[in-house]
Amino acid sequence: MTRVAAHDPEPPMSDEYEYTAQKKFSIARVLFAVAGVCAFLWTAMPVSSYNLGGFLGILALAFLIRLVSVRVFRRERDLPVWSGWIFVIAMVLGFLTFTGRRDQAVQAASDHAERQGVVVDAAYAKPVDRCLGDALAAWDASPTARPQTMTKGTYRIFFQRVCAMAEQDGVLQEDGVIPNRAAPAIARAVIAGMRADGLFAAAR
């Protein structure tokens, strides 16, 4: 009689193994969600059709990178192309895009500060210098938008105080930009101070 060898059944997964797998899955989901939000903030904010197009472009490029990684460089060809790792790749691309735009804005504002005589060399410009340089450049570039109650000298004093107050309040950005939420209150405070000093009697 032929004896059939008995095979022991595979041992069931332990509770500890299942818990570890679930924990890794949960951490991955959180990572992918955070990556997607960061990619959106770095590329699509402030929200506009142009910035949203940039965000979609970043996602498309991330998808292509994932596709090449799975189909060409990985041996596990059964890995899914569409994965949360696309958002991680998009986050990295978005960060590089964001820093590139910020560096360009900083350099442009520094150049304005140098051309307007705020600093001798753009390399030494600080955020408050960039703030004033951008304001004076805007005065020269848009004659029709100039305040009727100001000369350029008064305008310069006004923005010197505005930029200094924004820096003191901790809201002045590296490229010299004052956030819209903080600008009105700072402008009102500076106008009141200039009125008190007799420098801006016609201000409203």
Q: Is residue 182 part of a domain?
A: yes
Residue 58 near residue 52 (C-beta atoms within 8 A): no
Looking at the fold, whether 95 and 133 belong to one and the same domain comes out as no
**Distance (Å, whole) CA 40 – CA 32:** 12
Residue 88 near residue 31 (C-beta atoms within 8 A): yes
93-117: string of b/e by CB count within 10 Å (b at 16+)? bbeebbeeeeeebbebbbbbbbebe
Q: Is residue 159 part of a domain?
A: yes
Q: Is the pLDDT of residue 8 over 80?
A: no
Q: Which of 167, 157, 85 has its CA nearest to residue 126? A: 167
Write out pLDDT tens, residues 147-192.
Answer: 777 888 889 999 999 999 999 999 998 889 898 888 999 999 999 9
Q: Which domain holds residue 29?
A: 20-104
Q: Give the pLDDT band of residue 23 (cuts 50, 70, 90).
A: low
Q: Is residue 73 part of a domain?
A: yes
Q: Is residue 38 part of a domain?
A: yes
Looking at the fold, whether 25 and 89 belong to one and the same domain comes out as yes
28: left (phi over 0), alpha (psi -120 to 50) or beta: alpha
Q: Is residue 15 part of a domain?
A: no
User: Residues near 165 by Cβ (< 8 Å), separated by ≥ 6?
Assistant: 186, 189, 190
Per the structure, the count of domains in the chain is 2
Q: Is residue 114 part of a domain?
A: no
**Distance (Å, whole) CA 138 – CA 79:** 53
Q: Is residue 109 part of a domain?
A: no
Percent of the chain with pLDDT over 70: 82
Q: Is the pLDDT of residue 141 over 70?
A: yes
pTM: 0.61
Q: Is the backbone peptide bond immediately before 46 cis, with ω within 30 degrees of 0? A: yes
- Provide the mean pLDDT of the chain: 81
Looking at the fold, whether 151 and 91 belong to one and the same domain comes out as no
Looking at the fold, whether 136 and 84 belong to one and the same domain comes out as no
